[in-house]
């Protein structure tokens, strides 16, 4: 079963979190989607893939939140509107 989620979180000064942590784990878990800084302090992560892989990815984001001092993590279901072609990208 496939699953897509949209996560919004406050990253503050930890903008390197997207490249060093999120991209690494998304690639390792074969999750596709995007991560992007939406505002000065907010990041939006869209993750799609097999349900168990996306669940593991979400768990890793929550675990990384303590290390990187992330705040206000919000997660919601997401309807896939584009083809990510099996790749996870960080958009800067």
Range of the domain at 57: 2-91
Number of domains in the chain: 1
Q: Which helix (H) or strand (E) holds 27?
A: helix 23-28
| 47 Cβ neighbours under 8 A, 6+ residues apart | 4, 5, 7, 26, 31, 32, 33, 54, 57, 58, 88
Q: What is the CATH number of the domain that holds 34?
A: 3.30.70.100
Q: Shortest CA distance to 64 belongs to which of 3, 29, 22, 28? A: 22
Predicted confidence pLDDT, tens digits, the chain (92 residues): 899 999 999 887 666 888 889 999 999 999 999 999 887 788 999 999 999 999 999 999 998 888 888 888 999 999 988 889 999 999 98
């Amino acid at each position: 079963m496939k699953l897509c989620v949209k996560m919004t979180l406050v990253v503050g000064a930890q903008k390197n979190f997207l490249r060093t942590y999120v991209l690494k784990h998304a690639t390792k878990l074969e999750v596709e989607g995007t991560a992007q800084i939406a505002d000065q302090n907010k990041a939006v992560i869209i993750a799609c893939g097999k349900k168990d892989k996306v669940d593991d990815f979400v768990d890793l984001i929550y675990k990384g939140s303590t290390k990187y001092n992330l705040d206000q993590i919000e997660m919601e279901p997401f309807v896939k509107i584009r083809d990510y072609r099996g790749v996870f990208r960080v958009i800067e």
